[in-house]
């Protein structure tokens, strides 16, 4: 069986998540990042220095995701509840929205991520928020940004269903005079949780790590093909929003010097973009974000009310997350009601189902001797064993089919559609 021995193996076997952690971690400056439209953001290596170096493999979330790097996940096995196994230990679960109605309206779901980040800037003396926004020069792409005002945060609300590598900017947090907020996908948060173990200054300066529920990142090609389906020339695009401005909001392209606009409903656009997700996203065990202080997602179980301006589920994972969330409630940055695991089960059926299928998918890859990531602490075998026999078999056979059709047994970049 081929083995993962360095970062090049991770990339070539399609396990890279494009988080940018290797770019930040490389002390030799040997790694650059490049966005390949049909694939995602990938590291480019200096062939002489990287060939024998394995340092960044230990912090690569494409290869390793260990739920135990977060303190709550250490809850001992016999004490674990069904919910712990299904989406990871939670200290508290809430449901609600930002108190600021503009943030709530412009954000993806309830605007909790933006409201908490703003609270940290205004009440917790944090320096800036490292996160993701539109790349104005190529508006169908993202860029890593630092926000230190409300206006900057509001401009960067909303999920962007395209590659993003916020870990590339972690040096700014490490070098900051005071703590900062980090917002990223679960794989980005997982990289952060590994990096901070050996970097005391980064650890100290990570004032709050926020993540969100994530079903996977579509490649840039997904956005470009949606633009083409709407007959919009990419050269004329002024801005792309994937959702927000209502819940869940529409996919919107503004173009032709802002004179024209085309849009699709959330289900039309996301339904198409899902086909552009990578193999690695389909293997992700951490869709509900266990490796951050707080994880937020759509409270889909309440989305039948079309007038609802947006509601988030909030899963608190750490003591620090709990303290800061309480501060934000007291200062009226967020309005929350206590919720329970049953809300998460009702809202996030797809993500929870995927987690129970991962072990079967890994078995499918193993049949072809294709290397796969190391996952610990996610109860993957337990979840899979509880599936009915027919579904167990389908999880393996579905992967076998995918491997054959897409020729994933060949070591090379795999185009996401």
Ligand X SMILES: Cc1cc2nc3c(=O)[nH]c(=O)nc-3n(C[C@H](O)[C@H](O)[C@H](O)COP(=O)(O)OP(=O)(O)OC[C@H]3O[C@@H](n4cnc5c(N)ncnc54)[C@H](O)[C@@H]3O)c2cc1C
Q: Which of residues 360-389 bind ligand X (CB under 6 A)?
A: none
- Tokens 């919107």 -> residue: 252
Q: How many residues bind ligand X (CB under 6 A)?
A: 33
Question: What is the distance between the alpha carbons of residues 148 and 192, in angstroms, rounded to a whole number?
Answer: 21
Q: Taking a C-beta distance cutoff of 8 angstroms, is the pair 164, 132 a contact?
A: yes
Select from 335, 289, 333 the least CA-distant residue to 312: 335
**Of 69 and 295, which has the nearer Cβ to ligand X?**
295
Select from 109-117, 260-268, 335-343, 404-412 the region that touches ligand X (CB under 6 A): 109-117
Q: Which of 26, 50, 64, 112 binds ligand X (CB under 6 A)?
A: 112
Q: Does 45 bind ligand X (CB under 6 A)?
A: no
User: Does the footprint of ligand X cover residue 296 (CB under 6 A)?
Assistant: yes
The owner of tokens 């943030």 is: 103
Q: Does 18 bind ligand X (CB under 6 A)?
A: no
- Residues numbered 211 to 230 that lie near ligand X (CB under 6 A) are 212-215, 217
Where does this chain touch ligand X (CB under 6 A) — which range of 206-214, 227-235, 359-367, 368-376?
A: 206-214
Compose the 137-166 pattern: x for residues touching ligand X by CB under 6 A, - for all others: -------------------xxxxxx--x-x
In whole angstroms, the minimum distance from the beta carbon of 328 to ligand X comes to 12
Segment contacting ligand X by CB under 6 A, of 5-13, 291-299, 316-324, 371-379: 291-299
CA 390 to chain centroid: 30
Query: What are the tokens at 242?
Result: 């994937």
Instruction: Choose which of 42, 185, 199, 280 interacts with ligand X (CB under 6 A).
Output: 185
The nearest distance, CB 295 to ligand X, in angstroms, is: 9
Give yes or no for a contact between 81 and 341, defined as CB atoms under 8 angstroms apart: yes
E strand segments, 242-320? 251-255, 260-264, 294-298, 312-316
Identify which of 290, 320, 311, 270 has the alpha carbon closest to the alpha carbon of residue 66.
290
Burial of 405 (0-12, 13-18, 19+ CB in 10 A): exposed
Establish whether the linkage from the previous residue to 310 is cis, with ω within 30° of 0: no
Between 310 and 371, name the residue whose CB sits nearer to ligand X: 310
Strands 64-66, 374-376: pairing kind? parallel
> Interface with ligand X by CB under 6 A: which range of 170-178, 183-191, 333-341, 364-372?
183-191
User: Of the candidates 42, 131, 250, 355, which one interacts with ligand X according to CB under 6 A?
Assistant: 131
Contacts of 83 (CB under 8 A, 6+ apart): 90, 341, 344, 345
Contact positions toward ligand X, by CB under 6 A? 107-114, 131-133, 156-161, 164, 166, 183-185, 212-215, 217, 244, 296-298, 312, 351
């Amino acid at each position: 069986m081929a083995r993962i021995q360095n970062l090049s193996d991770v990339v070539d076997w399609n396990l890279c998540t494009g988080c940018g952690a290797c770019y930040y971690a490389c002390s030799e400056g040997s790694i650059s990042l490049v966005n390949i439209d049909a694939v995602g953001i990938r590291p480019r290596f200096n062939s002489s220095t990287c060939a024998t170096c394995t340092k960044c493999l230990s912090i690569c979330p494409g290869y390793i995701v260990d739920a135990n790097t977060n303190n709550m996940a250490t809850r001992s096995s016999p004490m674990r509840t069904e919910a712990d196994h299904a989406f990871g230990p939670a200290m508290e679960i809430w449901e609600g929205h930002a108190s600021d109605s503009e943030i709530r309206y412009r954000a993806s779901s309830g605007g909790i991520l933006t409201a908490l980040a703003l609270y940290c800037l205004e009440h917790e003396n944090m320096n800036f928020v490292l996160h993701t926004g539109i790349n104005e020069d190529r508006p169908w792409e993202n860029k890593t940004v630092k926000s230190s005002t409300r206006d900057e945060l509001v401009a960067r609300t909303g999920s962007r269903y395209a590659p993003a590598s916020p870990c590339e900017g972690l040096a700014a947090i490490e070098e900051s005079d005071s703590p900062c907020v980090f917002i990223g996908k679960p794989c980005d948060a997982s990289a952060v949780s590994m990096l901070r173990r050996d970097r005391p200054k980064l650890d100290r300066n990570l004032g709050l790590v926020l993540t969100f529920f994530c079903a996977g990142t579509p490649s840039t090609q997904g956005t470009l093909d949606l633009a083409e389906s709407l007959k919009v020339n990419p050269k004329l695009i002024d801005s792309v929003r994937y959702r927000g401005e209502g819940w869940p909001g529409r996919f919107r392209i503004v173009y032709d010097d802002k004179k024209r606009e085309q849009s699709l409903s959330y289900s039309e656009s996301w339904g198409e973009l899902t086909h552009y997700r990578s193999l690695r996203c389909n293997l992700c065990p951490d869709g509900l974000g266990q490796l951050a202080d707080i994880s937020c997602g759509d409270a889909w179980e309440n989305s039948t009310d079309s007038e609802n301006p947006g509601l988030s589920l909030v899963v608190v994972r750490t003591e620090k997350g709990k303290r800061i969330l309480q501060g934000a409630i007291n200062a009226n940055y967020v309005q929350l009601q206590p919720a329970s695991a049953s809300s998460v089960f009702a809202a996030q059926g797809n993500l929870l189902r995927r987690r129970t299928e991962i072990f079967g998918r890994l078995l499918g890859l193993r049949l072809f001797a294709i290397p796969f990531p190391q996952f610990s602490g996610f109860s993957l075998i337990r979840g899979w064993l509880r599936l009915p026999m027919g579904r167990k078999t389908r999880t393996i056979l579905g992967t076998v089919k995918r491997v054959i059709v897409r020729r994933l047994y060949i070591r090379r970049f795999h185009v996401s559609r």
